[in-house]
Chain A
């Protein structure tokens, strides 16, 4: 009986993704005639997905897993097949719940943000949301890298559709194009990586004895590190270790583009041009999360390559600091949140690179909750402010919007990493992992740790600057004195996420667990440690230890002391940042202090001229290459085509003159032809010898 229920839960699992697809179709074709223009279909579909995801998660919690092919696209004997399949293990079950929950709440919130505000193009909007949810959910339960790539691209397409929703204005279409192009740039590397993985392993499935991480591990174990044979795998003249590192980097290109890591982060702040619920969806659960999720999904492969891990950790740490510093000077509430997103995903990458798989997944989860909350909170503020986003025009909204205020405060405390909110536990765990592996023999990670630690101060500062400017003090404009009313559809998601942002951290309280010696309190660790063998935390720990040489060190030889110090330092720094913001921006009429930064402010306001230099690169090299290609196309390709036609025309013009119309001439030609043919055949055949 139990077995049948388990099997049935997995049988219906594809519906988790199919339901939003159905809502996409309904909104697209029938949205015009529906009372809420497709919103209800979307809410019902994502609600259904959420229920199914929870059911699947419960089933997975019971110890069952699922790894099956469901639809085969191309099957070729002796080489490889392309198929869609389902991989339901603790990681994907967790992510399914997160994505469908956030997606459901965003649909609900959209009722207030889009419908009640009388926006145009609602069927298109809800169709986009449905397709977006579908793509991300299918990406999450993909069982192979090929399927991941397909839905990775679909997610990119949906972000393009939704960021450019208000296509009649100037900025949104341009931002949408930028998001699409920048992420596509990374995806080129991903595509090459997928093909290379196919060529190397003949398969791209994630789990099982025939999966590519397992094959890679066997190849490395068999050959004893770098060099030597690779267990029947073709590594194109490289040692297997070096080749796997190259493959890891290729796939990482897609990750860096989608997860907005330096230097491909520039699209994300511009993506704020889209409707705010879309920003919440992109930043919390779908687009940006896809990159980090992909690394977590194939962590068994990345764990084999110390170089890739070090680069992931370093890029992550640097991005965390880099983006946080830009968030400090922004005036637009959504811009601050955008840079904080980049920064937080930097932390996740740091966690993954530092061997903290659980920590990174944990932060992915808590961040999904508190960042969705912050964006929806910002959306609520924007509704109340009649679509004004400059924080200097707000102020004093605390009394007028109590529910958004407390929810937003909960999200901000989580973002800044203040005890005991969700972000504290997860961010602290990431920094802790980087620290212990750093002092345990991988000093490179200490660099990432220090950057992450510095970013904590910035995070605390910009978060509370945002809260203080938006909600505290005296109202600075007439709009802020008389904010727009908010409906239940706006307040409900905020309340749900507000509670989650405050409490989600309790699922993995590592410091408490270590100090009290209660391993069982680390629920998420235990959750990720069961399921399909080869995809467990324990296995990943062995891999990073054996192949990347990560060993756990401790300050002064005491684990408890290290945990306490790590948590204490990051909390103290977060409080210091928050305190600085309080000093500068509290009071009824805060002043702008960014002017005092002088040239640094100019640099930060211009985002370190990242856009400028990338545009410069694109223009210099892009147009150069384009001009060369144009010349090649015009002269050589077109030349060849035109030449062929010229020759045909000319020779046709000459040769047609033998068509005299006189039968005798034709007969002569026939006869002569026969004679020539006979002579040739005769000479070649030696008849005349």
Chain B
């Protein structure tokens, strides 16, 4: 017996909100990256759930693309993070405020 699609959506929405909350409240840049990862995976769950619902493989293929994108994003993110640490001696994003008015 397959799980009804709305539960997947609820799970995905919950994961998305956790991710969003993480981005809005965390000060450590690493946690920010992780939260983004959560949000991307929430989207992945949606894609896979609807793929199952309509018996269409496009959604699952897309989720592979999103995973690849997430990997690329993390690679960039870690790079930025390293530079951030080198310049400010910290990964606290509230400290790195030189690009302001």
Q: Is A661 a contact partner of B98 (Cβ separation < 8 A)? A: yes
Assess whether A664 is interfacial by the CB under 8 Å rule: yes
How distant is B81 from chain A, measured CB to nearest CB, in Å? 12
Q: Which of chain A's residues has its CB closest to B29's CB?
A: A663
**Could you say which of A58-66, A113-121, A475-483, A652-660 contacts chain B?**
A652-660
Q: What are 11 contact pairs spanning A and B, CB under 8 A? A: A659-B99, A659-B101, A660-B97, A660-B100, A661-B97, A664-B26, A664-B27, A664-B93, A664-B94, A668-B24, A671-B24
Assess whether B20 is interfacial by the CB under 8 Å rule: yes
- Decide: A659 near B100, CB < 8 A? Known: A664-B93, A664-B94: yes
Chain B residues with Cβ under 8 A from A660's Cβ? Answer: 97, 100
Q: Which of chain A's residues has its CB closest to B25's CB?
A: A664
How distant is B27 from chain A, measured CB to nearest CB, in Å? 7
Q: How far, in whole Å, are A661 and B26 apart by their CA atoms in the complex?
A: 15
Q: How far, in whole Å, are A661 and B88 apart by their CA atoms in the complex?
A: 14
Q: A661-B98, A661-B99, A671-B24 are in contact. List 13 more A-B contacts (CB 8 A).
A: A656-B101, A657-B101, A659-B100, A660-B100, A661-B96, A661-B97, A661-B100, A663-B93, A664-B26, A664-B27, A667-B23, A667-B24, A668-B24
**Interface residues as binary, B3-41 with A (CB distance below 8 Å gives 1, 0 otherwise):** 000000000000000001001111100001000000000
Within A642-689, which residues are at the interface with B (CB < 8 Å)? 656-657, 659-664, 667-668, 671
**Interface residues as binary, B50-81 with A (CB distance below 8 Å gives 1, 0 otherwise):** 00000000000000000000000000000000
Residues on B lying within 8 angstroms of A by beta carbon are 20, 23-27, 32, 93-94, 96-101
Q: How far, in whole Å, are A664 and B27 apart by their CA atoms in the complex?
A: 8
- Decide: A662 near B24, CB < 8 A? Known: A656-B101, A657-B101: no
Considering the complex of A and B, which 10 residue pairs feature the smallest CB-CB distances, nearest first?
A: A661-B100, A661-B97, A656-B101, A659-B101, A663-B93, A667-B23, A661-B99, A662-B94, A659-B100, A660-B100
Q: Is A671 a contact partner of B20 (Cβ separation < 8 A)? A: yes
How distant is B62 from chain A, measured CB to nearest CB, in Å? 22
Q: How far, in whole Å, are A559 and B24 apart by their CA atoms in the complex?
A: 110
Residues on A lying within 8 angstroms of B by beta carbon are 656-657, 659-664, 667-668, 671
Q: Which of chain B's residues has its CB closest to A656's CB?
A: B101
How distant is A584 from chain B, measured CB to nearest CB, in Å? 92
Q: How far, in whole Å, are A663 and B24 apart by their CA atoms in the complex?
A: 9
Q: How far, in whole Å, are A659 and B27 apart by their CA atoms in the complex?
A: 18
Q: Is A664 a contact partner of B24 (Cβ separation < 8 A)? A: yes
Q: How far, in whole Å, are A656 and B99 apart by their CA atoms in the complex?
A: 12
Q: How far, in whole Å, are A662 and B32 apart by their CA atoms in the complex?
A: 13
Chain B residues with Cβ under 8 A from A668's Cβ? Answer: 24
Chain A residues with Cβ under 8 A from B98's Cβ? Answer: 661
Chain B residues with Cβ under 8 A from A656's Cβ? Answer: 101
Chain B residues with Cβ under 8 A from A657's Cβ? Answer: 101
How distant is A42 from chain B, measured CB to nearest CB, in Å? 69
Q: How far, in whole Å, are A668 and B24 apart by their CA atoms in the complex?
A: 6
Q: How far, in whole Å, are A660 and B95 apart by their CA atoms in the complex?
A: 11
Chain B residues with Cβ under 8 A from A671's Cβ? Answer: 20, 24
Q: How far, in whole Å, are A154 and B15 apart by their CA atoms in the complex?
A: 80
Q: Is A662 a contact partner of B97 (Cβ separation < 8 A)? A: yes
Q: Which of chain B's residues has its CB closest to A655's CB?
A: B101
Q: How far, in whole Å, are A656 and B98 apart by their CA atoms in the complex?
A: 14
How distant is A333 from chain B, measured CB to nearest CB, in Å? 79
Q: Which of chain A's residues has its CB closest to B32's CB?
A: A663
Chain B residues with Cβ under 8 A from A659's Cβ? Answer: 99-101
Chain A residues with Cβ under 8 A from B99's Cβ? Answer: 659, 661
Q: Which of chain A's residues has its CB closest to B20's CB?
A: A671
Chain B residues with Cβ under 8 A from A664's Cβ? Answer: 23-27, 93-94
How distant is B39 from chain A, measured CB to nearest CB, in Å? 11
